Structure 1
Amino acid sequence: MVNKIKFCTILRERSLEHKKAITLMLQNELYGQAISILRQELDSMVRVIFLIEEPDFSIREHYVEQTLENVKWTLPNSRSAITDRQMVELSNLLFGWTKSVYKLGCAFIHLSPMSNYRNENPFLNLDEVEIQDIKNHLHNYHGFPLASDLNMDTISPYLNKVFIKVSDNLEAYIESFENDAIGDI
């Protein structure tokens, strides 16, 4: 029980810092950094979703302990790592939007042409299906006009809205996790 409280405290402290940081990044038009912060918030969210979907409380505790020990998550009694991809795929199956946000965030965390967004449209590096997925998600959740091109100028006004949605969902999932919910997302 104490470990779960510590784990949830870490999640909330990280999220609070993200809220402060994304505000600063957006005020200073540091959109790549804002997207990186968004990706980190999403990382917390998919981990909590992964835990909530795990019905075995001893396995949940195993992952929480690994976090507190600063160890990469592995299956119990195994060396097989739980990958970000597995957690993102699970949450994407449940919600249908996390994979595109996560992938976009990764493009800004890792060195890529996306970091050159001040000089070139980074979204031209994506295939048409990815572009349409992002546009549709932005439209469905935040009112992005589907007729607009996808570029940093058109999406930057939506970055804080996306962050708030992820952050609010994260807090709701943390509360569900604290209340021992199983798959009640």
Structure 2
Amino acid sequence: MTTNQNTLKFCELIRKRSEENKSAVDILFSSNYYGQVASILRQELDSMVRCIFLLNLPIPERERLIQLTLNGKRWRNSNGSIVTDKSMVDISNNLQGWSNSVYKFGCAFIHLSNFHDYDNNDIFQTLDATERRDIKQFMNNYHNYDLNEELTFDSIKPYLFKVFIKIYDNLNCYISYLEQNEMVI
């Protein structure tokens, strides 16, 4: 089966957004604008979870949702209900294991919250101990974060660019799967 032209256009759209995000993260990270880096992490993750969600659907349903995107419409399930970020993140989290933590972290920087006062308040203290432990473990597994180090915003600042690149690389892989009409159920 050949890939639908709309799917290819969608993949081009995602790639363009991702490249722009990467350029922005390069600039923002080098300028120490860590809150902005975190919000762009969330945007990149949004693209990735959408791709993963699509890859878990039968191709006709995938193409229908892609058409909705290209027409500027919200995604709706075949029963008419809105496809929520939570439902997409849950599917991605089952595959990736870390998507939910990064998503929640990034959302806190997109929406005005106490996370924007990271210079004065340790934002990780707002998380429960289990979530902090899970984040540390993922940071260790993927980025060699020292498990003996306390998890604070200051302690993860040096890793934010690496986290972005991890999402960016995974996203590019999932875009390729979409272009090849693959599924990852």
The CA deviation at 1:69 is 0.9
For structure 2, the 5+ residue unaligned runs are: none
2:16 alignment partner in structure 1 = 13
Matches of 1:15 and 1:124, distance apart in 2: 31
2:100 partner amino acid: K
| Aligned pairs (5 A) from 1:16-165 | 16-54=19-57, 56-76=58-78, 78-165=79-166
The CA RMSD measured in Å over matched residues stands at: 1.0
Identity within the alignment, %: 47
User: Could you report, residue by residue, the CA deviation over 1:56-93 in whole angstroms, capped at 9, with x for unpaired residues?
Assistant: 211011110111011110013x3200000000000111
Q: Which has the higher contact order (CA 8 A, sep 6+)?
A: 2
User: Could you report, residue by residue, the CA deviation over 1:35-60 in whole angstroms, capped at 9, with x for unpaired residues?
Assistant: 10001000000000011111x21101
3-state SS, counterpart of residue 120 of structure 2: coil
| Aligned pairs (5 A) from 1:161-172 | 161-172=162-173
The runs of at least 4 consecutive aligned structure 1 residues that moved more than 6 Å come to none
2:152 partner amino acid: N
User: Could you report, residue by residue, the CA deviation over 1:146-167 in whole angstroms, capped at 9, with x for unpaired residues?
Assistant: 1111112210111111111110
3-state SS, counterpart of residue 22 of structure 2: helix
1:61 partner amino acid: E
The CA deviation at 1:182 is 1.3
User: Could you report, residue by residue, the CA deviation over 1:112-163 in whole angstroms, capped at 9, with x for unpaired residues?
Assistant: 1111001111111111111111111101110000111111221011111111
Number of aligned positions between the proteins = 182
TM-score by length of 1: 0.95
TM-score by length of 2: 0.95
1:167 partner amino acid: Y
For structure 1, the 5+ residue unaligned runs are: none
